[in-house]
Every structure is written in structure tokens, then in C-alpha cells.
A and B are shown apart, each in its own frame.
Chain A
Amino acid sequence: MPRNKPVTSVGDTVFAGVARTAALAIMLALAGVFVFLFIEGFPGLSAPTDVYRPAEDFLSYVGPLVFGTIWAALVALIIAVPFAIGIALFISHYAPARLAVPIAYVIDLLAAVPSVVYGLWGGLALAQALKPVLVWLDTHLGFIPLFVGPASVTGRTMLTAAIVLAIMIVPIVTAISREIFAQTPRLHEEAAMALGATRWEMIRLAVFPYARSGVISAVMLGLGRALGETMAVAMVLSATQVVTLNLISDTNPATIASNIASNYKEASPDRQAVLIATGLVLFAVTFAVNFAARMVIARGERKIAR
């Protein structure tokens, strides 16, 4: 006797097919992007020396850009994460509902502002406003390598770019963290309260341990956005080919994305290939960062599950 096929409904089959197609499509798109970058960028890896002006070869050309990309994103994260977690905690655990809802709404709106607008604001308003701050940092904290003078006269510094980036990633980190904080099991919160924990102690005992891996994921999403952000950085930063930790001077490294955006239109075909190759490097950097982050999270979770 032939084995009967398991009974399935038509709707189920159709939906499974649609879902599978969608999943495959995204994998194909990702692979397609990689193949494009690789084919188009490959000549850029070993072009004649003068194409890499002012650098000599591909590595010395892309090196400062990779540094600038990671440095800008890192500074942005350092600024943004405490803010985002603070806002998220305020919304989920401190603010009364009539305050929490509008604040959450405004934060979500911030995420919808196009990056060009942030770029305009950062390059004009914020850069102006930061000038005295930069001078102050130079005079009082100049002994720290981050704030060695002379302070920029235009205000278009790494610090300005990082602040703009920070404002751009605060909403996404806040939104996800808030969601996770709010999901903390009531049982754990009450366990802490019943021991005589204050609100803050309760958050440390019950909320943070529960939310830890989720918040790390949120931060990684923010980092991803900061690494890839193009227009805002291109419009704010006055960039040269340097590697420096200095946050307040006129000479700043560009980021990969902003460098592509500012140079692609006028570039010769040779030069375009080089820019695409840097795009390939950005692809790899983003991948590596995400991968590393996931490893960190997985290790943390294993430790808890032990």
C-alpha cells in the first residue's frame, strides 16, 4: 500500500512557499551585492599607483578610511549608548504613562528624519555651536590625546560627526532597549522589590540581567547604522587622509561611506573601481563587527545558561 501523504491545507502550502521565497530572495540579494562589489572593485585592488593619490597603494588608501569609519562609529556609540539606555529606562520604568508615551513617540520620530537633514543641521548649526566647546576642550583637556589642539575653526570635526551619528543611532537603540526593559517579568521585579530594593537596585537586580543580551543586540544595530552612515558624515566632516585619535582638529580621517559619497561622481573609472573596492572593505568590516558581536552575545548567554 502506498504511504499516504500528510494532510496539508492549500493555504499552508502557499504561505510556506511565500515565506521561503522571501527568505531566499534576501540571501540572493546579499550574495548579489557581494558579487557586484567583488567584480567591479577587483581592478581597484591593484590599480596604477597614481590612482591612489595621495596614498601609494590600496592598503594605505583604505587604511585611514577603515580607521575613520570604526573610530567615528565607536565615539558615536560611547556618546549614544548611555543616553539611549537612560531614555529607555525612563520610558519603561520611571515616567508616568502620560509622559512616557509622547517621549517614546518623539524618539521614534527622530529615527524617521532623513540623514541629509541631520547632515545639514550638523554641518551648519551644530558645528557652529560646538566651536567654543572645542576651544574649551583644547585649553582644559588638551593633555588628553583626544583633545590636542589647535581646535578647529570650522567646527567640522570628528567630535561633531560623532555627535550627529550618536543622535541618529539613539532612536534605534532606545526603541529596542525600551521594548526589552518593559518585558522584564513582573515576578523578577517583585522579587527584588520584596527584598527591599530601591527602584534603581531593582533595575540592577532584575531588569539589566534580563535585558542584557537584547540591549547588546540593540547596540550592535546602532553600530551597524553608524558604520554605514554616509551623507551626514560627508556633510559634517572636513576630511583628509590621516589616522588620528584627535577629535577636535581640522584634520580628520574620512569614513569609507562618506568618502565614496563625496568622490564617486567626479571619479575616473580607475578611481571608481578603487572606491567600489573600499565598499567591499566596508562590507567586510560590517560583517566582521556583527559576527564578533554575536560571538560576544552567545558567549554571555552560555555563561548564564551554565
Chain B
Amino acid sequence: MTELKDKDQQAIIQLKDLSIFYGDNQAVNKINLDFYKNKVTAIIGPSGCGKSTVLRSINRMNDFIDILHTKGEVVYENQNILDKNLDPTRLRRDIGMVFQRPNPFPKSIYNNIIWGPKINGFLKNPDELVEKSLRRAALWDEVKDRLHDSALGLSGGQQQRLCIARTVAMNPSVILMDEPCSALDPKATIRIENLIDELKDDYTILIVTHNMQQAARVSDYTAFLYEGELVEFGETDGLFTNPVEKQTEDYITGRFG
């Protein structure tokens, strides 16, 4: 645990005075936050606290919302990725995303995996990539005999692991997860949580969740957001057992939210 306390942890993504507005409505207010390399950071908070909005600014997914604009910086590899001149498609190769509901393409399992690398022009050994990615997402054994069947025939939990495999196939450095288990049953949820634990060796993971037990189980660090403000950030163990802020304590003990 002492190594986690190390302040020299390398921050891979830094939010600097990040504010996000929907039209005139401010959803996120001047957040400063570092996400550490090869760690799992959970962003928790009640519905509408801006946690998904923050997550989606990191791979510029918010670009699709016309009325949304941002202030401040999101720094990744020494650049402000919110810079309008930066090509978001390039950024998204590096920062992958797993969505709330499994969203495999209506293609075969095999083609779901190779699609990203193919369109981005770095697909070399498709068979190898498919096996490696599916193994990484703990899905290989279940689907190895039906790689060319439609991905839509898989169960919800399998589809979500396929979406993780699809993201892993891009070899990103960061994976954003937006409530990845909210549409899954408890058994499928456990599998995804175990997977997150294995994936952090190779990737930095940011996970938004409304499920505090989940945050406590999977993450190394936790950020608690409330009404667009960062209330508290710290090591998960510390934040859950000994929160500094009263609001954090009220939330994690279930007094509101």
C-alpha cells in the first residue's frame, strides 16, 4: 500500500480547471484531478453529478453534443486534448471506451475485434489479434468455436466482454469505462470486475460507476463528484474507510444518492 501513497505516481491524464457546460447550464465546475498510470480510478457520485460528462471529455465523445462546451484543460501526453486542432479520431485510438450498454456492431465476433485496427490501418495478423484480444477479455474459451457467428447472439455479459476485447485490440493506453456493468446481472458483473483487475497491468482504467461497492472492489483511487464539483479524491481504501469530507461520508454510507 505504501507504494500507492507515493506522490511520484506518474499522472497519465490531468484535468486542469475543467469546466463543462450544457448551454448555459454548468455541469462540471473547475475540476483538478490526476489519473495515474496503470491504476484503476473510479469516479463516483449521485446521478447528474457530471461523472459521465467528465469521462466523455477525455476521449472527446462530448463533441457529439452540439450545445456542450468546455473550459480548462485535459492534458494527455503533454497536450491539451480539448484543443480544437487536435484530431479526436487519433486520440480515440489511444483512449478506448467501454459503454454503459454493450454495443457490439451487427457483425461477426471476429469482425467486431478487427474492425478498429482495420480502419485505422494497422491490422497485421488478424487471427492472432482476435485470439489475443478475446483471451485478454476472458471470452476466448466461450466463443472460440463460433468466431464467425453474429456478435448479437451473445449474452449481455459476453457482449460487454467482447466490447472490452474490441477496445483492447486497439492497444490503447487508457480505457474509459462508463458504468460498464449497469446493464448486466451480478454474475456477469463479477466477471467484468475481475477482468478490470487483470487489465490494469497493461492499461490505465477510468471507471464511472454509481455502485460504491464496485468502486471499492475494483479501484485503486476514487474521485467523488457532487453537483459538478470534485469533493474528494484519494486512495480507494482511505476514501471509503476514512473519508475526509462530510459529504463523502454521507454518500458512501448511503445517506443520500
The answer to whether A and B interact is no
